[in-house]
Amino acid sequence: MCAASRHLSDRIADVWGERTPYGPGDPWPVRVDAFLDDSIGEEEVDAWFRSASILHSNGDAMDIGVKDGRIVGVRGRAVDRINHGRLDPKDLYGWQAVNSPDRLTRPLVREGSELVETDWDTAMDRIVSRSQDLLGEGPGGWGHFGFYTTGQLFLEEYYTLGVIGKAGIGTPHMDGNTRLCTATAAASLKASFGTDGQPGSYIDIDHCDALALFGHNVAETQTVLWMRMLDRRRGPEPPKMVVVDPRRTPVADEADVHLAVRPGTNQALMNGLLRELIVNGWYDADYVRDHTLGFDELRSVVEAYPPELVADICDVSVEDIQEAARILGTAQRLVSTVLQGFYQSNQATVAACMVNNLHLIRGMIGRPGAGIYQMNGQPTAQNTRETGADGDLPGLRNWENPDHIEELARLWNVDRQKIPHWAAPTHAMQIFRYAEQGSIKLLWVSATNPAVSLPELSRIRDILAKEGLFLVVQDLFLTETARLADVVLPAATWGEKLGTFTCVDRTVHISDKAVEPPGEARSDLDIFLDYARRMDFRNKDGAPLITWDDPESAFEAWKECTRGRPCDYTGITYERLRGGSGIQWPCNDRHPDGLERLYSDGVFNTDPDYCETFGHDMVTGAVHTEADYRAKAPAGRAFLHSAEYQPSPEVPNERYPFTLTTGRTVYQFHTRTKTGRAPQLQDAAPEVWAELHPLDAQALGVAEGDVLRITSPRGALKARARVCGTRQGTVFVPFHYGYWDKGEAAAPQEPERAANELTLTDWDPVSKQPLFKVAAVRVAKAANANGTYAPAPVIGASAPPDGSARTRGGPTAVASSRVEE
């Protein structure tokens, strides 16, 4: 018999909602969160449709409520393994953007300096005719195409796009904005374990006795995962917590040890921590011997990083390093998570691999409570990676393995030479470089906004606006990027189309079509299928290359592509996904209900015929050859990678004495395309701000709310100062704020708002993820506050020490929460 209590709360002010404490090994209590249009009660909803979140990467399952053909709200799914009913504020309020009056409803084409409305035939004809001209330019026609997609479409859409690119046009120039958020997660998983795929499950939070968060402000990026952690922290036998973050985030506040490292020094810290573990004997010598390769080299590299040296490099105390190492070294069930603080920083891939090393040398992998989450930044990023819509091949295949290419050629019935595999697929920054040089002449951007999200924006805007570059943008709104396009295609979104997607812990959810898209907007799948038809892509036998025509048939085709691969979907059907909870891959004859944890037997996916990569040099990114790889005889053992610490490519100097780091607030997602159109979310974080340490503020003569001018060698912006808990010498600016709600232009005459005006063009040598966290900047006061606070939320890392201002959603933000007891 279940009793339930229902609470109403303003989830703008009460971001994480009511605590439901629980102990180790107990089930996480159910708490069903819901928010509906204020005039509508749950009983008045006509129908509920199955879905999950696409406003962050956690994969929280929900039902979409529809009344009179319109989305009217959302309710968390109690039975789902991911969230047990809970929802993030972005999900509670963000659905309103779907109903936004400024949605694109008709295709647009460029006529001179204007974008004018047109019909689908005209818009598609322009793209197809340009495509055919480029393909006709000779044997290198494929090289004029670039595709830049996202982490927010559905699996079926990515797979279709991947096949069009690889077997239709035959170009390697395809990547996602996942390059900015999750490339290092994939690279580190491949490097350590042989293939992509999280070893653990979120359920490991229920069992762990220690939590380590590396550059991961989970309280704001995946609030429901944080609720789960907090509920363990408030219950009996709470897990210890270690946090590495240069900012005083809510997670850092909660931690037992907070290492506020100097940006760019993660690798030095990790070397120091691993050294402490090894010196103190806190490792499992049998596991290391039987299941890993590279321990001697790791030991010899980290030996040179005693705590005193690391304290000096990272600017943290020796005692904190030792205490953190003691927690990591003595835990019996350790969960580690990694995100942008590592992925977007200096030495990203090797530092993320060091977290894998920590688990490998302790044998903390593949059993309850011993988990690693190399997190994703975006909701469907896992699928971009799996399907080959980014710089990988479909089914986690290895571009250097001729047998893998042959498998794809057979599956698609094309000549193997058609599939580009002469080098790693082209990463996003290189795609933009080819466009800058003019060899890429058609760039197709789907569901992402590079004019705000890529580094060094003045350069990116120049590329997008370049004469001779035919820019196609497929989106919901007229974004900053869409304004520069030659053709704009209006797309349907979440709730308006059917498909599936997979979250960090390999759980697949279905997302049903609840309502019709506005006007003539079409699903991204239909757009890609239409392009393939019009381009008349054929297989070897002259039949159409794309053999599917709707989401479910695309999913069935994808299942065949995954057969026998680590991400095996063959046991999943749409019908099963509508059953109750999402289902984890691999799901096949051997694991009919999915597999909770990979590598429980200590056998990793490193076999040369099975692995996804033959590996890279961590310093330069040089690829290792197949012969090198086979000579290591991995035989199912995992790799322990190691590297010396090297300073960031850009460090503070006399002219630019501060380090800029960029990131998110809990209330916004990406460039606010959706969250900026949900009033409760937008009002909570309406405008850019810059976080300064109190001592830095004092030295600059800056007080709360003063307008700062922040300058880097690339550009400048203006933002009001929030004096709070970032580390000394470090300035934080959220990257959400572009120019779409500042007027008509893609950017004003004097750009003044977007964090990426300041960031530098450089990327990790292995994952190719840009370095957003280590730009050198100068800070100066531009104007007095005149009594105005910074427009920064007081909840989250931007909380001021004195609690002087308030963030609340007010009466329009009242959501309900039902806890089952």
Partner 1 sequence: MQLAHYLGLLLQAEHSLSDAFQEVGRAHAAEADVYFICQKLVRQCDEHAESLRPFVQRYSEQAPDEPERLHSELFQGSRSGGLGLLRDLQDLYLMTAECDICWVMMGQAAQGARDSELYEVATRCGVETSTQAAWLRTRMKQAAPQALVVS
Cβ–Cβ < 8 Å for 207, 368: yes
Q: Are 808 and 10 in contact (CB under 8 A)?
A: yes
Does residue 489 contact residue 473 with C-beta atoms inside 8 Å? Answer: yes
Which residue of 101, 112, 139, 542 would you call a contact of partner 1, by CB under 8 A? 139
Residue 426 or 570 with smaller CB distance to partner 1: 426
Kindly state whether residue 143 participates in binding partner 1, applying the rule CB under 8 A: yes
Q: Is the dihedral of CA 479, 120, 164, 547 positive or negative?
A: positive
Beta strands in 215-351 (DSSP E): 240-244, 257-259, 292-293, 334-338
Q: In this structure, what DSSP letter does residue 516 have?
A: P
In 3D space, the residue among 178, 127, 120 whose CA is nearest the CA of residue 153 turns out to be 178
- Cβ 646 to partner 1 shortest distance, Å: 7
Q: Write the CB contacts of 312 (distance below 8 Å, at least 6 apart in sequence).
A: none
Least separation in angstroms between residue 425's CB and partner 1 is 10
Q: State in angstroms the smallest separation of the CB of 625 from partner 1.
A: 8
Taking CB under 8 A as the criterion, the residue among 430, 453, 661, 769 binding partner 1 is: 430
- Size, binding site for partner 1 by CB under 8 A: 29
**Residue 300's closest CA among 269, 322, 271, 329?**
271
CA-CA-CA-CA torsion sign (474, 477, 482, 485): positive
Smallest gap from residue 140 Cβ to partner 1 (A): 4
Interatomic CA distance for residues 531 and 534, integer angstroms: 5
Q: How far is the CB of 423 from partner 1 (least distance, A)?
A: 4
Residues 447-506 that bind partner 1 (CB under 8 A): none
Interaction of residue 762 with partner 1, rule CB under 8 A: yes
CA distance 109 to 94: 29
Position 142 contacts partner 1 (CB under 8 A): yes
Nearest to partner 1 of 98, 428 (CB atom): 428
Q: Of residues 5, 300, 332, 439, which one binds partner 1 by CB under 8 A?
A: 439
Please identify, among the stretches 205-213, 616-624, 681-689, 747-755, the one whose residues bind partner 1 according to the rule CB under 8 A.
616-624
What separation in angstroms does the CA of 701 have from each of 659, 704, 734, 780, 803?
18, 10, 22, 9, 21
Counting contacts by CB under 8 A, is residue 433 touching partner 1?
Answer: yes
Shortest distance in whole angstroms from residue 632 CB to partner 1? 15
Query: Which helix H or strand E contains 732, and what residues bound it?
Result: strand 730-734
Please identify which residue in 100, 413, 547, 761 interacts with partner 1, judged by CB under 8 A. 761
Q: Which of 189, 225, 327, 424 binds partner 1 (CB under 8 A)?
A: 424
Q: Which of the ranges 312-320, 416-424, 470-478, 513-521 carries the binding residues for partner 1, by CB under 8 A?
A: 416-424
Region near partner 1 per CB under 8 A, out of 5-13, 336-344, 574-582, 756-764? 756-764
Contact of 666 with 795, CB cutoff 8 Å: yes
Q: How far is the CB of 769 from partner 1 (least distance, A)?
A: 12
Task: Give the separation between CA 278 and CA 32, rounded to whole angstroms.
Answer: 44
Q: Shortest gap between Cβ of 169 and partner 1 (angstroms)? A: 12
Residue 620 within binding range of partner 1, rule CB under 8 A? yes
Identity at 678, one-letter amino acid code: A
Q: From the list 343, 658, 763, 772, which residue makes contact with partner 1 (rule: CB under 8 A)?
A: 763
Q: Judged by CB under 8 A, which of 47, 285, 304, 423 binds partner 1?
A: 423
Beta strands 470-475 and 442-446: pairing type? parallel
Instruction: Pick the binder of partner 1 from 19, 533, 534, 624 (CB under 8 A).
Output: 624
Shortest spacing between CB 311 and partner 1, in angstroms: 24
Q: Greatest CA separation found in the chain?
A: 73
Q: From the CB of 181, what's the least distance to partner 1, in Å?
A: 19
Q: 74, 45, 58: which is closest to 815 by C-alpha?
A: 74
Spatial separation of the C-alpha atoms in residues 369 and 354, rounded to whole Å? 19
- Candidates 357-365, 617-625, 661-669, 720-728; binding stretch for partner 1 (CB under 8 A): 617-625
Measure the CA–CA gap between 605 and 459, rounded to whole angstroms. 40
Identify residues 193-222 at the interface with partner 1 (CB under 8 A).
none
Report the C-alpha gap between 732 and 793 in whole angstroms: 14
Pick the stretch among 222-230, 661-669, 702-710, 761-769 that binds partner 1 (CB under 8 A): 761-769
Q: Which member of 422, 543, 601, 701 binds partner 1 (CB under 8 A)?
A: 422
Q: What number of residues does the chain have?
A: 821
Closest CA to 820 of 86, 59, 114: 86
Distances (CA, A) of 281 to 192, 271, 355, 626, 685: 22, 15, 17, 35, 47
Q: Which of 102, 617, 741, 802 binds partner 1 (CB under 8 A)?
A: 617
Stretch touching partner 1 by CB under 8 A, among 309-317, 421-429, 443-451, 783-791: 421-429
The reply on whether position 534 binds partner 1 by CB under 8 A is no
- Smallest distance from partner 1 to CB 565, Å: 25
Q: Counting contacts by CB under 8 A, is residue 619 touching partner 1?
A: yes
- For the segment 640-659, give every residue that binds partner 1 (CB under 8 A): 646, 649
- Tell me the HSE value of 703 on the side-chain side, using a 13 A CA sphere: 6
Residue 344 Cβ vs partner 1, minimum distance, rounded to whole Å:
15
Q: Contact between 426 and partner 1 (CB under 8 A)?
A: yes
Is 765 a binder of partner 1 (CB under 8 A)? yes
Residue whose C-alpha is closest to residue 551's, from 573, 518, 533, 569 = 573
Near partner 1 by CB under 8 A: residue from 144, 248, 262, 522: 144
Residue whose CB is less far from partner 1, 172 or 363 = 172
Of 301, 447, 623, 813, the one binding partner 1 (CB under 8 A) is 623
| 291 is a site residue for partner 1 (CB under 8 A) | no
- Look up residue 370 and give its two tokens: 């011993």
Distance (Å) of CA 604 to CA 469, 481, 635, 706, 745: 44, 42, 8, 54, 51
The answer for residues whose C-beta is within 8 angstroms of residue 110's C-beta and 6 or more apart is 116, 485, 486, 487
Give the up-direction half-sphere exposure of residue 60: CA atoms within 13 A in the CB hemisphere.
32
Looking at the DSSP assignment, which residues form a beta bridge with residue 49? 64
Applying CB under 8 A, among 4, 47, 622, 783 the residue interacting with partner 1 is 622
| Residue 101 interacting with partner 1 (CB under 8 A) | no
Indicate which single residue of 72, 260, 429, 681 sits in contact with partner 1 (rule: CB under 8 A). Answer: 429
- Least distance in angstroms from the C-beta of 426 to partner 1: 8
Q: Which is nearer to partner 1, 437 or 458 (CB)?
A: 437
Question: Which residue in 496, 193, 508 sits closest to 380, CA to CA?
Answer: 508
**Which residue(s) pair with 448 in the sheet?**
none
Residue 281, helix vs strand vs coil: coil
User: Binding residues for partner 1, per CB under 8 A?
Assistant: 139-140, 142-144, 422-424, 426, 429-430, 433-434, 436-437, 439, 617, 619-624, 646, 649, 761-763, 765
